[in-house]
Chains A and B, each alone.
Chain A
Amino acid sequence: MKVLVPVKRVIDYNVKVRVKADQTGVELANVKMSMNPFDEISVEAALRMKEAGQASEVVAVSLGVQQCQETIRTALAMGADRGIHVLHDGELEPLAVAKMLKAIVDKEEPGLVILGKQAIDDDCNQTGQMLAALLGWAQGTFISRLEVGDGELKATREVDGGLETVALKTPAIVTTDLRLNEPRYASLPNIMKAKKKPIDQMSPADLGVDPAPRLETLKVVEPDKREAGVIVADVTELVDKLRNEAKVI
Chain B
Amino acid sequence: MNFAMTDEQRMLVEVVRAFVERELMPHEEEIERSGILEPALLESLKQKAIASGFYAANMPADVGGGGLGTLEVTLMEQELGRTSMALSQCVYRPSNILMACQGEQIERYLLPTVRGERMDCLAMTEPGAGSDMRSMSCSARRDGDDWIIDGTKHFISHADIADYVILFVATGEEETPRGPKKKITSFLVDTNTPGFEVREGYRNVSHRGYHNCILTFDKCRVPNSAVLGVPDKGFEVANEWLGATRLQVAAMCLGRARRAFELASSWAAERKQFGQTIGKFQGVSFKLADMLTEITAAEYLTYAAAWKDDQGAMTDQDAAMAKVYASEMLSRVADEALQVFGGMGLMDELPLERIWRDARIERIWDGTSEIQRHIISRSILRPLES
Contact = CB atoms under 8 A, between A and B. Distances in A.
25 contacts: A70-B7, A70-B10, A73-B7, A74-B11, A77-B11, A185-B15, A185-B18, A186-B11, A186-B52, A187-B51, A187-B52, A187-B53, A188-B52, A188-B53, A188-B54, A188-B57, A188-B68, A189-B66, A190-B53, A191-B8, A191-B11, A191-B12, A191-B15, A194-B7, A195-B8
Secondary structure of the A contact surface, majority rule: helix
Contacts of B54: 188
Interface in A185-207: 185-192, 194-195
A188 B10 contact: no
B267 interface: no
Contact of A194 (B8, B51, B68): B8
A171 to B, nearest CB: 31
Interface string B54-73: 10010000000011100000
Contacts of B57: 188
Interface string B14-36: 11001100000000000000000
Contacts of B53: 187-190
Secondary structure of the B contact surface, majority rule: helix
Given A77-B15, A189-B53, A191-B11, 20 more contacts: A34-B14, A70-B7, A70-B10, A73-B7, A73-B11, A74-B11, A74-B14, A77-B11, A184-B52, A185-B19, A185-B52, A186-B52, A187-B51, A187-B53, A188-B52, A188-B66, A192-B8, A194-B7, A194-B8, A195-B7
Interface residues of B, number: 17
Contacts of B19: 185
A219 B7 CA distance: 35
Nearest to A189: B53
Contacts of A192: 8, 67
Interface of B: 7-8, 10-12, 14-15, 18-19, 51-54, 57, 66-68
A77 B11 CA distance: 8
B66 to A, nearest CB: 5
A138 B53 CA distance: 39
B17 to A, nearest CB: 10
A184 B7 CA distance: 19
Interface in A163-221: 184-192, 194-195
B7 A188 contact: no
A99 B66 CA distance: 42
Contacts of A195: 7-8
A34 B11 CA distance: 11
Contacts of B10: 70
A187 B53 CA distance: 6
A188 B51 contact: no
Contacts of B52: 184-188
Nearest to A182: B22
Contacts of A74: 11, 14
A192 B11 CA distance: 10
